[in-house]
Structure formats: structure tokens, C-alpha cells
A = this chain, B = another copy of it.
Amino acid sequence: MSKIDSPKGTYNISKLNRPFVTVDILIFTIQDEELKTVLVKRKDLPFKEMWAIPGGFVKIDESLEEAATRELVEETGIKDVYLEQLFTFGDPKRDPRGRVITVSYFALILSKDLSLTASTDAKEVKLFSVNELPPLAFDHQKIIDYAVERLKNKIGYSNIVFGLLPKRFRLSDLQKVYEIILNKKLDKRNFRKKMLSLDLFKESGMEDRTGAHRPAMLYEFKKREVVFFD
């Protein structure tokens, strides 16, 4: 490979100033009744000591999704989760070191599966409530805002929340997830009516008997893959 053409003609590769390309991955989970996201503390300039979305360079022979999956495994040890491409941010000034274009992805993870300490680096990695974020490096605040907005919309017409629920769950657990993400109370009767009408779950036959009260039926998702409704 020594030349590459463009609509305008032919460039010599050596004249082409290529950008860096990274993937950033927004790992969302619910913990202590809050929507949280994984951040890592930067050890180098620029934005040294500031918190940032985990991410890294795309290797020359891996796809974007492979890069995001790899980053996710490196940060959390988790694989086989739903990853969705969010947006590509490419402002020339977004990284003071030079031209870095980042393709962002998000993932929804069960908090009990998250073992952040599993990270082999001595890096500081922490969960932050999306409502109480520290000052963030680069344009990462903008990226998180965008992701949270997408998430709020998407739970309205898809079943992506399955990533935030265990195999078996109560309808009240499901409702709590919606309430936390949307940041508002929902009516129990209307919520159950709507959810059950979607035909996404089935009764597991088991009950939850924790607590001094009537047991709850445990449901399971029929499919743990993304389905759109509406």
C-alpha cells in the first residue's frame, strides 16, 4: 500500500496527516439506586489526575467493536455484553496533543458482575453517579451527557435494560431500573400493564421470598438480545 485515492485524485500516503482513532466506552450500571458510570483517573498529561471515560487506541487490525470489547474486558473483565455505538466525536481541538477522533460505545452491566479491581494496572478506576460527576478530561462530559440522553430514549422503545437485570428479577426491580434511569417515579399498575403487554418476559416459576411480605414472582427475559418495540 503506497498510494490511496480520493474523490479528488491520488494522494501520496506520506503526505496524508492521519488522525489517531480511539474508542471510548461508557460502562453504565446501577448501584445504590443510582445510575453510575465507570471512570478512570488519568496518570499523564494532559488532564493529569482528572477522571476520564475508559478507552484506548484502535489497533490497526481490529474492528471498532472489537476494540470496544477489548477495552471493556480490560476494564471490567466482562465479555458478551450488548455494545452500542453512540457517536463519533472528532473536533480537531478536543485533545490538546493532536488530532484524536474517538468512536464512543456504551454498555449496560450488572453491578455485581463488575470487578473493577480486577484491572491489572495500578490505575484508579471508580464508579460515579452520572448526577455527581467530577470534572472530566477532554470533552468527556459532553459524551456522557449524550449517552445518558440516548439511554433515556432507548429504554422507551427497546429492551436494552436486560443488561442491568439478573437472570431472574421482580417486576418491581424492572420498574426501579426505569425510575432510576428516567429519574422519575412511575405508576406501578400502568408500568406492569405496559411491560407485560410487550411479551418480552416470561414467568420463571420461581418466587422471591426475601423480606416479611408477600413473595414476588420472578420473571426472565425471553431473549437477552436487543429487541425494539412500539
Contact = CB atoms under 8 A, between A and B. Distances in A.
A5 B97 CA distance: 10
Nearest to A20: B18
A10 B44 contact: yes
Contacts of A85: 87-88
Interface size class, chain A? 35 or more
A43 B10 CA distance: 10
Query: Interface of chain A, helix or strand or loop or mixed?
Result: loop
Interface of A: 1, 4-8, 10-11, 16-21, 40, 42-45, 54-64, 71, 74, 85, 87-88, 90-92, 97-101, 103, 121, 123
A8 to B, nearest CB: 7
A16 B98 CA distance: 14
Contacts of A21: 18-19, 21, 90, 101
A62 to B, nearest CB: 7
B7 A121 contact: yes
A19 B62 CA distance: 11
23 contacts: A1-B98, A4-B98, A4-B100, A5-B42, A5-B45, A7-B56, A7-B74, A7-B121, A8-B121, A10-B44, A18-B19, A18-B21, A19-B21, A19-B60, A21-B90, A60-B99, A61-B92, A61-B99, A62-B92, A64-B88, A88-B88, A88-B103, A90-B103
Given A21-B90, A60-B99, A85-B87, 7 more contacts: A7-B56, A10-B44, A17-B59, A18-B20, A19-B21, A61-B99, A63-B90
